[in-house]
Amino acid sequence: MAATSTVAERIAGWRESWKIYGDPRVVAILALGFSSGLPIMLVATTLSTWLAEAEVSKASIGLFAYVFAPYTFKFAWAPLMDRLPLPPLTTIFGRRRGWMLATQLGLILSIYGLGQTDPANGLYWTALCAVLVAFFSASQDIVIDAYRIEILPKEELGAGAGVVVLGYRIAMWVATAGALLIAEAAGWSAAYTTMALLVLVGVATVLLVREPEGSTTELIEPELESEEDQLGRVIGQGGEARGGALGGALIAALVYLLLIEPASFLFGLLGPYRAPLGGGESLLIAGNAAVVLFGIAVGARIVTRHPAAMRWVKTYALVALAWSVVEVLWYVMLAEPPYLAEIYAWLGLVVLWWLADSVTVALGGGGFDLAAFTSPVWLVILGFWLRFFAIVALYGMPYFSRRTVALFGLTPLREEARLHLWMRRAVIEPFYDFFRRHGVAVAVLVLALISVFKASDVILTLMANPFYIEMGFTKAQIAWVSKTFGLWMTLLGGLVGGTIVYRYGIMRSLALAVVVMALSNLAFLLLAVSGEGGPVSLSDFWRLALFHLVIIIENLSGGLGTAVFVAYLSSLCNLHYTAVQYALLTSFMQLFGKFVIVPSSGFFVEAVGWQMFFVTSTLFALPALLLIWVLFRLGVEVEPVPSVSGRG
């Protein structure tokens, strides 16, 4: 009887867990997930189909990969959307709902505009509209993610992650299969106009939901900010700032300003990536030279302990950050862009190349091409990330370094320039909060876990379809089994993942997700050994049945892992800085997987073959499991930090 009672209690517990999906807030997140997932495929698969039909060259279609830049760099403008008022929308609807409406209106106009272009005769306008769609889409993601984290209590973050994946995937299916069917029947203009109208699902949801409690665009929250509190956060409870010689932060700043940036400028000017002299290129070189000289002047003021040195530091940081954004936009938007390589980005990619090359050679395969690893696209992305973090650290030094405060003093809030006050509140504090709250060592471990969590899963991103083709499956079979049947398995996996987080907590769910995603790669091994020319021979019927089984395993595990991971990222955010921190984490998540693992997967397959590829790809889960174990042993909390107003 006792055993029967225990089973009944477990069944009742699972039933109770599934009831969470009836919460109106969770239902609203489902609709917002649909609005979030709709635009991305309109500038990806669907757009590439349109371009191919318009007989645009394959090389030009490939260049449309730059359209996705806003998704990678969205953390750079997340602070604007986190704290900047946007009257009258934020005045009427509040901070989150106002910005969501603004991005959705931008999506409606840009998607409609994209549908009115003619890629055969005006490819530039098609590309421009596609970039605008990606920009508004990435911006909408910033606000929706922040809203989801702030509106849901911590025990429902897993369910919120599950339904946002569900809505996102349904929208992606609508934006591919649905858009193609409409285009076939009524043309591309009608297809994109219909997709633009579907954004109204998100608009209606925003109008029906409420703003999170305590949401504000104020720069200063009285409960958080006072001069005493500001100083206390620098020197700690019961401590005092003691001065004397230059401290570690100031020395690091001098090394960056007087050594690293000048050396990087010379490397870009004289190295293999130097820009040829011309009108635009000369302007780029002049701008870089001006920023470097400005940094040297700031460094000299630190060395001489000039009273206004910290004001110069903050001004330099603003200028350097703005110029970095200009450089990236310049590179992305021009057909033949000039570029000056950053030496630290180049060195970082050389180290990654050496590691990947060593592993591949050790497995008996060929080596990697250094030129492919150090291409300008990768250098742009990594260089911007490294410079961004360096500038954030530099800008925060006058506020959060004890020795700096001791030597140069702390600017009182009433004397702080409004621009610097906004920069500190919206940009600097979210980053410093993340490292201060977790501690530098734990924060680095967390970021490392984020970068490798889905390594065993994303390695199949570009290799799955070529594998299916090589195994003898037709395009129609791939479309049905992998893309359509697999979609619903992914959606089910997302819901299961949300329920598991609700039942067992985030850390256990993380470990389970990593193991499940890694083992799912072995299912592909079954197909590899039974494919054309494989050691096991199966009839077409049983091979197709096995294909369905593999997709069930792969997509259930992938959906589960995504939901658990989204819940984990959500739990890491401080509710004071949700938009910035979540945008940072999701951008960081893509960096290693999308720009290192995925591009390397083809070389890996060629080096070791399909069967060994699927076996060894499971080992990519080991770093994530090790990091989860270390964080668990350290007792790291993964609950979101509540705000002083108690929201969330």
The CATH number that applies at residue 54 is 1.20.1250.20
Same domain, 641 and 525: yes
List, as one string, the DSSP characters of 517-560: HHHHHHHHHHHHHHSTT-SS---HHHHHHHHHHHHHHHHHHHHH
Pair 518, 636 in one domain: yes
Give the separation between CA 44 and CA 37, rounded to whole angstroms. 12
Lowest mean pLDDT among 100-114, 193-207, 532-546: 532-546
CA–CA dist 469, 464 (Å, integer): 9
Tell me the pLDDT tens digit for each residue of 133-160. 999 999 998 888 888 878 777 666 666 7
pLDDT, residue 593, reads 67
Residues 402 and 444 in one domain: no
**Cβ–Cβ contacts within 10 Å for residue 173, how many?**
19
Q: Is the pLDDT confidence value at 373 over 50?
A: yes
| Assigned domain for 223 exists | no
Give mean pLDDT, residues 610-618: 83
Based on the fold, state whether residues 170 and 268 are members of the same structural domain.
Answer: no
3-state secondary structure of 167: helix
172 is a domain residue: yes
Is the distance from CB of 235 to CB of 402 less than 8 angstroms? yes
Query: Considering the domain boundaries, does residue 423 fall inside one?
Result: no
User: Does residue 23 have a pLDDT over 90?
Assistant: no
**Radius of gyration of the chain, Cα coordinates, nearest whole angstrom:** 26
Return the higher-pLDDT residue of 484 and 641: 484
Angle at 193 between CA 53 and CA 56, to 5 degrees: 20
DSSP 492-516: HHHHHHHHHHHHH-HHHHHHHHHHH
Q: Is residue 169 part of a domain?
A: yes
Is the domain of 446 the same as that of 330? no
- Does any domain span residue 149? yes
Tell me which DSSP letter residue 479 carries: I
- pTM for this prediction: 0.69
Are 388 and 448 contained in the same domain? no
pLDDT at 422 over 70: yes
First to last CA, the chain: 41
Please indicate, yes or no, whether residues 213 and 262 belong to a single structural domain of this protein. Answer: no
- Under the banding of pLDDT at 50, 70 and 90, the label for residue 109 is very high
Is residue 506 situated within a structural domain? Answer: yes
pLDDT at 339 over 70: no
pLDDT score at 341: 67
Q: What is the pLDDT of residues 521-530, one digit of tens each?
A: 888 888 887 7
C-alpha distances in Å from residue 272, one per residue of 87, 266, 267, 268, 377: 48, 11, 8, 8, 14
Average pLDDT over residues 12-17: 50
Average of per-residue pLDDT across 205-230: 62
Q: Map 296-343 to HEC letters.
A: HHHHHHHHCCCCCHHHHHHHHHHHHHHHHHHHHHHHHHCCCCCCCCCH
Q: Is the pLDDT of residue 12 over 60?
A: no
Q: With respect to residue 369, please indicate whether it lies within any of the assigned structural domains.
A: yes
Q: Are residues 295 and 399 in the same domain?
A: yes
Q: Which of 13-22, 208-217, 270-279, 549-558 has the lowest mean pLDDT?
A: 13-22
Sorting pLDDT into bands at 50, 70 and 90, what band is 368? low
639 has pLDDT over 60? no
Q: How far is CA 309 from CA 6, 297, 428, in A?
A: 68, 10, 18
Last residue in a domain, options 384, 416, 448: 416
Domain end marker among 202, 217, 232: 217
Structural domain that includes position 490 = 439-648
Average pLDDT (104-108) is 94
Does a structural domain hold residue 425? Answer: no
Overall number of domains in the chain: 3
Tell me: do 403 and 499 sit in the same domain: no
Same domain, 360 and 452: no
